[in-house]
Structure 1
C-alpha cells in the first residue's frame, strides 16, 4: 500500500518488488531491485527515506524518518524481520538481523553486522566492519559495545546521549515528561489524518 503523506508520494523503481501488505508512506525512494516483504512499514515522518540498490526489507520491519533525522540505506543491505530503524544512516553491505533496533542519529558503517536483538543507540557511530553481538548494545561515539547485563554502564552512556531531548526536544527532568511527550508526539502523528492512499 502506498500513501501520500505531507504532500509527498513514494517513488519506487520499476524493478523493485513491494509486497501488497507492505506500507510505503510519504517521501520514500526505493531503488532498483529492492525487495520489500509482507508487513514491512517504511514511513517518512517529515524526513526523507532513501533505499539504494538490492536492499531487502523483511517481514514486519519498520523504517521511520523524522524531520530531524532522515534515513539513508546503502546498497546491498538486509533489514531482518521485525527490525526497526529510526532516523539513521546505514552504509553499504550491512546486515541487520532479526529484531535489531537502530535509533535516531545512528550511523552504521559499511559491511557491519548487528546481530539478533542487538541495539545501536541514539547518536551512536558504528565503524565499518563492526559486529554487535546477539542482544548487545552499541552506545556512543566513540562506540562502546556492552552486554545487556551491564545496565549501569549502558544507562550512564545513554543519559549523556539525551534521548528525550534529542528526539522530542524535552528535558529528561521535566516533571510531566510523558504527558508533554505523548501530547507533542501525538499532534505530530495526527498529520496522517490527511494521508491519501495511492493504490
Structure 2
C-alpha cells in the first residue's frame, strides 16, 4: 500500500486489519484490529490524527482528514460507505455513514446512528444515538428501528469477514480472456440492501 511517514510519524496498521494496496495512508493514522480499508481510500494524517478502532470499515474512495491538532475518531464497528468524506469528526460505535455522505468538523454521529447516503452533516452537529440523519443539510428525522440496527450489524459483520477473506486470499492477477464455463459465484454472505430486508419483513 502507499504508506508515508511525515515529520517522522508513520501510520500504524494492526496485523489483523486489511488495507487495500491502492489505499493511501499518511502520517498520524492508527488502524485497529480487524479493520477494513477499501480501494482508493485516502487517510491523510498530515495535520490531525485519524484513529480507527476495532472492526471498522472504510470503503472505496473515502477521504478522512482533519485540521491541525484535531482527532478524527471512528469507534468500534463504525461503517463508512463508498465515497464518504469525514473531516475532524467523531463516529461513535456501531454508527453508519452512507455512501457519498459528508461529515464535517466537530460533528458527532452517535452510537448506532445512521447518516443517509449523500447527506451533508454540518460542522458541530450532534446526531443522537440510534437516530437517522438525512438531507442537505442533514436533519434528525427519527429513531431507528430494531430491524434497521440488526441490518447494520449484519452488514458490518460481512465487512469484517471480508477483511479475513482479503488477508487470506486476495492477490493481484491478470484477467482471463474469456469467462470460464460454470463460473462459480463468490460466497459473500447473506446481507442484502435495506430496502429488500424491509420488503421481506412486510
How does the TM-score come out when normalised to structure 2?
A: 0.66
Structure 1 pair 145–127 and aligned structure 2 pair: CA distance change class (3 A): closer
Check the 8 A contact 1:3/1:26 in 2, yes or no. yes
Determine if the alignment matches structure 1 residue 137 to structure 2 residue 137: yes
Partner of 1:105: 106
CA distance in 1, matches of 2:31, 2:113: 21
CA distance in 2, matches of 1:99, 1:67: 24
1:68 shift after superposition: 4.0
CA distance in 1, matches of 2:70, 2:123: 11
Check the 8 A contact 2:127/2:140 in 1, yes or no. no
1:123 shift after superposition: 1.2
1:145 shift after superposition: 4.0
1:5 shift after superposition: 1.8
Q: Mean alpha-carbon deviation: is it higher for 97-106 or for 43-52?
A: 43-52
Q: What SS does the corresponding residue of 2:70 show, helix, strand or coil?
A: coil
Partner of 2:26: 25
1:136 shift after superposition: 4.0
Q: What SS does the corresponding residue of 1:28 show, helix, strand or coil?
A: strand
Partner of 1:63: 64
Partner of 1:43: 44
1:6 shift after superposition: 2.7
- Equivalence map 1:118-197=2 (5 Å): 118-133=119-134, 135-138=135-138, 144-145=139-140
Give the CA RMSD over aligned residues: 1.4
| Unaligned residue ranges in structure 2 (runs of 5+) | 142-202
Partner of 1:90: 91
Partner of 1:77: 78
Partner of 1:172: none
Q: What SS does the corresponding residue of 1:47 show, helix, strand or coil?
A: strand
